[in-house]
Chain A
Amino acid sequence: MWEPNEQLLLRASTRYRKNEGTLFVTPRRVAWQQHGNPHLNPSLLYGDMGTLSQTPDTSPKVLLKISVTSPKPKDYTFHFISPKALTEREAVKSQIAELLGRLRGSSASRGSTPITTPKAAPTPTSNLNTPGTATAASSPGVSTPSSSVNSPAPTAATSSGTPGSPHSWRQEEFKARRHLLSTSSELFTLHKELVMQDKNVAEEEFWASPYVKRIRQKLNKEYVSKEGRQKGKSSKMVELMPGQQDGSDVKYTLTSQIIHNIFTEFPSVKRAYDTNVPDRVSEQHFWKRFLASEFFHRSRTGARSQMAPYDDIFDRCLQEEDEENSKAPSLSRMDKIKRAIDLTATEEDHIEGGNAPDFTMKPGGSAQVLPLIRRFNRHAMRVLETPPTKRKDPNATENDDMEREIIISDLQNEKPPEKIVLDIEDSRRYFESQSRENQDISVSVEDATHLLNDFKEDFQGWRPDLTKSVMEPKAANKACLTLTDFIKRKVQHDQKIAAADTKLPLTVQQKIQSYHSATNEILRHFWSSFEPYKPDKNLRMVESLRKQQEKLHGLIKTIEDMNGDIERTKKMLQPVMQAVDKALETAKKRGKKRK
C-alpha cells in the first residue's frame, strides 16, 4: 500500500469511473483509493505523467484529467464532489504541477508542464538569455527527462543551474555557436545573409541544415553540438564551507545542487526532511536547525562538544548515522560471483603460489578510524553505484555474457567480404568501344604466304643506299610548312587561353561567392521543404528566391562600379540562376495543381 515514510500532501474526495473514493497526493505519486477498498488503484507516478487538463471553472462538473504516457497512454479523469470542489481541484492541480516541475528539474516559476484548459492557454516562458532564438526549440531541452535528476530537488534557494540539466546544455550550445560564428568567416557571412539581413531562414533551421552541420564538423570537432551528452555526478564529498563571516553571524549558501548532494550523502537527513517538511517545520527553519546542529558540526572523534543544543530531529539523524557506522557493511552474497573475476576458479593453476586471501588485509584494525573509513567507503559506493542494466536479450545465457566480455572483436578473423562476381562474357567487346570499327585485315592463308614470300625476296640482298636522295625538296618544304603551321596555331591558342584566364579582383570574387552560397542555401531549404511539403516554410523560400533574383541586379551594378567583368560574372552565376528559375517554376506549377 503506502510506502514507508510516504507523506500525504493532499487529499480530496473524488469520483473515478462512477465510484466514490479519495484522491491522495504524495511526493511520490498520485493515488486514488475507492471507499471501502484498501488498494490504491490507480496509482500514477510523476515520471509517467504527461499532461493535466481540467474543465473550465464555470462548468457544473469539476473534472481533472491526468494523462499518462507510460506504460500505455491512458487518461484518468477524476470528478471532485465535495462542496469545496473547485478549491480542492485547484490545490491538487497546483501541487501536482509543482511536483512534476520539480521532478523535471526546472523551477516552478517556469511552468513548463503544459496545463491546458479550454479557456486559458498558458505558454511556457523561457528565460534563455541569447539573441533571438525560437522558443519552440526549448521544449526538446525540457523534455530530456527526469533521468538527470533522481529525486525531486526542492528549489529552495538560488538559481536553477543544475549541471547536466537541459538548461545548461542550451547555454553550452549557444556558446559554441557564438564561437563558430566568430571564427569562421564563411559561416558568418552565410549566417548574416540568411538570418540577419533578410530574415529568410529561422535560426534553428539554419543550424539544423546538414550543410552547416558538415561545416561545423570540419571546423572543430569539439564544438559539434553536445546534444544529449551529459556529465555524470561529481565524486566530491559534501563540503559546506561558511560563505561569509561577520562576527557571530555565519552565512551559508545552499543551492539546490548542494541540497541534492546532502540528500544523497546522508539518507538520514533526507528521511528527516521528508517527514518533517512542510508539515511540522518550514523549509527555512529546517535548514537553519541543520546548520546549527551537532550533526553538522560533529568532530571526527565522535565526542559531543559542550556547546551543542539538543535538537530532536538531528539527534535522531546522528544516532542513525552512528549506528550505521558501527555496523560492518553487509557482505554481499558470496555464492554468485561473476566468473570473469572469480579467482577461485583458477585455483588449480596456482597451487604453489597459492590463492589464499591476503592475511595482512584485516579490516577494522584501528577502532578509532573505523567509522570514518566506513563513511568514506559508503560514499564511494554511492558514487559508483549504477542501476542494474536490463538484459537486452532475455534469452542470452550466462555463457553469452562471458563471451561478450572475453572475446575481442579486433582479434578475430575477418569474414571474407561477400561479393558478387562481375561476369563479363565477352571482355573483348568491352574494349572495342575505344577503337573504331573492326579493322583487322582479313587475309586468307594463301595470300598471306604469297605476300610474305614477296617480302622475303625483296629484302634478301637489300642494301640501303643512303647516299641517294630521299625526297624531292618541294615535298620536304611542304612538310616543313605544314608542321610550322601546326605549331603556330597551337601557340596562338595557348596564348589566348592564358590571356582569358585573368582573375577578377578579389572583392568582386568575394561578393559573387557569398551571393552564390546564400542562394544555394536558400535553394536547399526550398527543396527540403518541397517534398514532403511544408507550406509556410516553402512559401517563405519562394519569397526569398524572388528577392535573390532582384539582388542579382544590384550585385551586377556594384561590380560594374568596381570595373569588373560583367560578362564573366554573369557566366559564373548562370547555373545558380538557372536553378533558381527552375525552382520558381516548380513552385508555380505546384500552386496551379493545387488550385
Chain B
Amino acid sequence: DSNLLVIILDTNPFVWAESAKAPHTPLSLDDALRQVLIFINAHLALKYNNKVVVIASHVGHSKFLYPISDDEITKHRISGERNANMYPNFQFVMDQIVASLQELLSNTDVSFLEKDSGTSSMITGAFSMALCYIHRITKNDDLGHIKPRIMILSLSPDSAAHYIPLMNCIFSAQKAAIPVDVCKVYGEETAFLQQAANITGGIYVQVENPQSLLQYLMFAFLPERYARKFLNLPNQDQVDFRAACFCHKKIVDIGYVCSVCLSIFCSWSPVCTTCKTKFAFRPMVPPSPMRGKPSPISK
C-alpha cells in the first residue's frame, strides 16, 4: 500500500514575519522549511512507494510546490547536481520544493492587497487543489493501493469569507474518507480547522514550542493511516462547537434565534440584523429553564 501525503504549507509572508519576531520562540520560514523537509524525507523513507505532494498556500493564491510539471523544471533551471551523500530521491524532492518556493516568493507583488481577501492565506484554495489531485490519482490507480491523507501546517487565522468553501472542502474530504491533520504552528486556535480534523478523523495539534516543530511532526503526523488504528496519537478532542452571538461574538448557551435566517443573538431586538425581518411583538420574559424563540411575522 502506498501512502500519499499531501502537505499544505502556509507561506503567508506577513504571518511568517510575525512568527519570526515572536518573543519566546521565534520561528522563521527557513527554519521551519528545514524541519518540514526532514519530515518529508522521513515519510518517504518509511516505505519505498510512499509519495508526497506539497502545496503552498500563499496570499491570494496557492501553488503546487512538488510535484511540478517538466516545463517548469526546465524553466526554473533546477540544477541536477548530485550530492553523493544524499539519497537521490530526497535530493530530487528537496530541489524542486526549494526552487518552486523561491519562484513563488520572487513573483509575489502587492496586487493581492486590492482583492477582497486582503492578507489572508488561501487555505481553501490549497485544500481544493489537494482534493482534486487526490481524486485524480485515485482514479488512475487501478490496483486501489493508494491511501491518501492531507496535512495542513497552518499559521494564519480563519478567514470568515472562506467559510462556505472551506466547509464544502471539509465535507468532501469526509465523504472521501481522507483524514485531514492540522498542525497549528503559530497563532490562535482556529475553529474551522479544528472542526475539519474532527469530522474527517484527523489529528489537531497545537505546537507550544515552534522551535521543536520537527519533534511534533515526527511524533504525531508521521504514522500512516493503517498504523493509526493501533496507536494513541495526541489529539485535541474538545472541539468548540458552541455558537457565538452575532452582535458581540461572545459565546452563548441560551439565546434568541431568528426563525428566518437562523442567526443567533444574545438579546432580543425588534429587527434581525442579517435578514431584516421585523418582529412586531413584545418579547416574552424568558423564564430561566425555557428557551425563548420568537417567530417573526413574515414579510
Contact = CB atoms under 8 A, between A and B. Distances in A.
Interface of A: 420, 422-426, 428-437, 439-443, 445, 448-449, 451-452, 454-456, 458-460, 462-466, 468, 470-471, 475-476, 478-480, 482-484, 486-487, 490-491
Which 7 A-B pairs give the minimum distances between C-beta atoms?
A431-B163, A486-B234, A479-B215, A435-B158, A432-B160, A439-B157, A479-B212
Contacts of B38: 466, 470
B106 A464 contact: no
Given A440-B119, A449-B110, A462-B102, A435 B192 contact: yes
Nearest to B25: A475
B234 A483 contact: yes
A448 B113 contact: yes
Nearest to B117: A440
Which of the listed residues B18, B33, B163 has the most CB atoms from chain A within 10 Å of its own CB? B163
Interface stretch (B67-75, B140-148, B241-249): B241-249
Given A483-B216, A490-B232, 19 more contacts: A425-B275, A425-B276, A431-B160, A431-B164, A432-B160, A433-B244, A433-B245, A435-B159, A440-B119, A449-B109, A452-B110, A466-B38, A470-B34, A471-B215, A479-B208, A479-B215, A479-B219, A480-B219, A487-B234
A356 to B, nearest CB: 63
A433 B246 contact: yes
A277 B220 CA distance: 104
A558 to B, nearest CB: 30
B212 A471 contact: yes
A430 B237 CA distance: 26
Contacts of B94: 464, 466
B37 A466 contact: yes
B101 interface: yes
B34 A436 contact: no
Contacts of B16: 455
B222 interface: no
Contacts of B263: 430, 433
Interface residues of B, number: 68
A460 B246 CA distance: 46
A428 B110 contact: no
Given A422-B260, A435-B157, A440-B118, A478 B209 contact: yes
A483 B191 contact: no
Contact of B235 (A424, A429, A490): A490
B106 A460 contact: yes
Given A476-B215, A479-B209, A464 B33 contact: yes
A434 B33 contact: no
B244 A422 contact: no
A64 B234 CA distance: 94
A470 B191 contact: no
Interface of B: 13-18, 29-30, 33-35, 37-38, 41, 86, 94, 98, 101-102, 105-106, 108-110, 113, 118-120, 157-161, 163-164, 188, 190-192, 205, 208-209, 211-212, 214-216, 219-220, 232-235, 237, 243-246, 249, 260-261, 263-264, 274-276, 298-299
B249 A426 contact: no
Contacts of B101: 459
B276 A434 contact: no
A482 B215 CA distance: 11
Contacts of B276: 423, 425
Contact of B211 (A434, A439, A471): A471
B13 A452 contact: yes
Contacts of B209: 475, 478-479
A454 to B, nearest CB: 8
A429 B37 contact: no
A303 B12 CA distance: 115
A433 B232 CA distance: 33
Contact of B13 (A439, A451, A478, A479): A451
B245 A462 contact: no
26 contacts: A420-B298, A422-B261, A424-B275, A426-B274, A431-B163, A434-B191, A434-B244, A439-B157, A440-B159, A443-B14, A443-B119, A445-B110, A448-B119, A451-B13, A455-B17, A456-B106, A456-B108, A459-B106, A466-B34, A470-B35, A471-B211, A471-B212, A476-B214, A479-B215, A479-B216, A487-B232
A574 to B, nearest CB: 13
B13 A436 contact: no
A435 B276 CA distance: 23
Contacts of B15: 441
A208 B237 CA distance: 48
Contacts of A456: 105-106, 108
A449 B13 CA distance: 11
A459 to B, nearest CB: 5
A447 to B, nearest CB: 9
